[in-house]
Amino acid sequence: MDPRQRPYRSVLYIPGSKERALDKARSLPVDAIIFDLEDAVAADEKDNARETLKAALAQGGYGARVKIVRINGLDTPWGHADAEAVRDMDADVVLLPKVGGAADVDALAAITGDLPIWAMMETPRGMLNAAQIAAHPLLTGFVMGTNDLAKELQTRFRADRLPMMSSLGLCLLAAKAEGLIAIDGVYNAFKDGEGLAAECAQGRDMGFDGKTLIHPAQVEIANTAFAPSEAEIDLARRQIAAFAEVEASGQGVAVVDGKIVENLHVATAREVLAKAEAILALQAG
């Protein structure tokens, strides 16, 4: 499947140290999992977590879910050992935290070889260097680290995320320019479904592919928000049909629901249908 068409609606963090959560994830309807060795794992558990995760991935059972391992930074006491361990794990992607520039990605690639790399975008320097990070040949995805970003920017958390908008926008521009997957940051209040749904809707409107999550209760909300709705699917079908009709009569513009439809709208409509089909295929196993 074209990686751009693969669904990444729900991307769940699981602490690499928590065996019960590692097991539970085998049955959760998530599109991807971030197996975390960084912030979700206490310092004195780091070495054990690496071994626990290695065993869980060797055991398998995660099906079609994309397996992403977030290591500790290479400037920490655990980063190098994590990177060396990931090389031998059954992982699809290695996720590097607090990426500041393309040189950070190079340093990881020197250890992990040709394993695809995703970058946590969560520092002011990373924001300013988003374009060069996105252009790295091994980089295939961005994950927004909105907690670290808020800390570094000394912003307040607001429901409208206004203080975060320039950073989210910069990363989206860089990701789209290079054809990367772009995943939005976490919503910390994991019992607040309404707040999560609103933030997912905002992220989807902005162009993110999905949302990082911290608790199983968040999964269905993200899966719904980042999937094409029935109304979008219906509109896409009608736009394609209407355009085909006018095109056959030598015209370049159709009108559907009082709005123009040109070939670029048809391209978007085809993407909507392809995404819906990819979700169905994933669900069918």
Ligand X SMILES: CC(C)(COP(=O)(O)OP(=O)(O)OC[C@H]1O[C@@H](n2cnc3c(N)ncnc32)[C@H](O)[C@@H]1OP(=O)(O)O)[C@@H](O)C(=O)NCCC(=O)NCCSC(=O)C[C@H](O)C(=O)O
List binding-site positions for substrate.
Answer: 70, 122
State which of positions 126-155 bind ligand X (CB under 6 A): 145-148
Q: Are 66 and 90 in contact (CB under 8 A)?
A: no
The tally of CA atoms less than 13 A away on the side-chain side of residue 125 is 8
From 18-26, 45-53, 256-264, 266-274, span contacting ligand X (CB under 6 A): 18-26
79 near ligand X (CB under 6 A): no
39 near ligand X (CB under 6 A): yes
184 near Mg ion (CB under 5 A): no
Residue found under tokens 């009709």:
245
The strand pair at 32-36 and 66-70 is best described as: parallel
Task: For 14, list phi and psi in degrees, rounded to 5.
Answer: -130, 125
| Element (DSSP H or E) covering residue 235 | helix 230-248
Binding mask 237-276 for ligand X (x = CB under 6 A): ----------------------------------------
Known binding positions for Mg(2+): 122, 148
32 near ligand X (CB under 6 A): no
> Rounded to 5 degrees, what angle do the CA atoms 64, 69, 75 make?
165
In this chain, which of 7, 15, 16, 228 binds ligand X, going by CB under 6 A?
15
Between 15 and 228, whose beta carbon lies closer to ligand X?
15
Size of the site for ligand X (CB under 6 A): 23
> Rounded to 5 degrees, what angle do the CA atoms 199, 67, 18 make?
80
Binding mask 172-211 for ligand X (x = CB under 6 A): -------------xx---x---------------------
Q: Are 56 and 70 in contact (CB under 8 A)?
A: no
Q: Are 211 and 190 in contact (CB under 8 A)?
A: no
Question: What are 205's two structure tokens?
Answer: 């409107």
In this chain, which of 31, 82, 104, 122 binds ligand X, going by CB under 6 A?
122
Known binding positions: 70, 122, 148
DSSP three-state, residue 270:
helix
Q: Are 236 and 269 in contact (CB under 8 A)?
A: yes
From 22-30, 41-49, 147-155, 176-184, span contacting Mg ion (CB under 5 A): 147-155
Query: Among residues 61, 14, 9, 21, which one has the least CA distance to residue 278?
Result: 9
Report, in Å, the least distance between residue 139 CB and ligand X.
17
Report, in Å, the least distance between residue 104 CB and ligand X.
15
> Rounded to 5 degrees, what angle do the CA atoms 66, 201, 101 make?
55
Residue 79 binds: one of ligand X, Mg ion, none (C-beta under 5 to 8 A by kind): none
Question: What are 268's two structure tokens?
Answer: 């978007």
Report, in Å, the least distance between residue 20 CB and ligand X.
4
Residues interacting with Mg ion, by CB under 5 A?
122, 145, 148
Q: Kindly list the residues in this chain that would bind ligand X in the complex (CB under 6 A).
A: 12-15, 20-21, 24-25, 36, 39-40, 120, 122, 145-148, 185-186, 190, 214-216
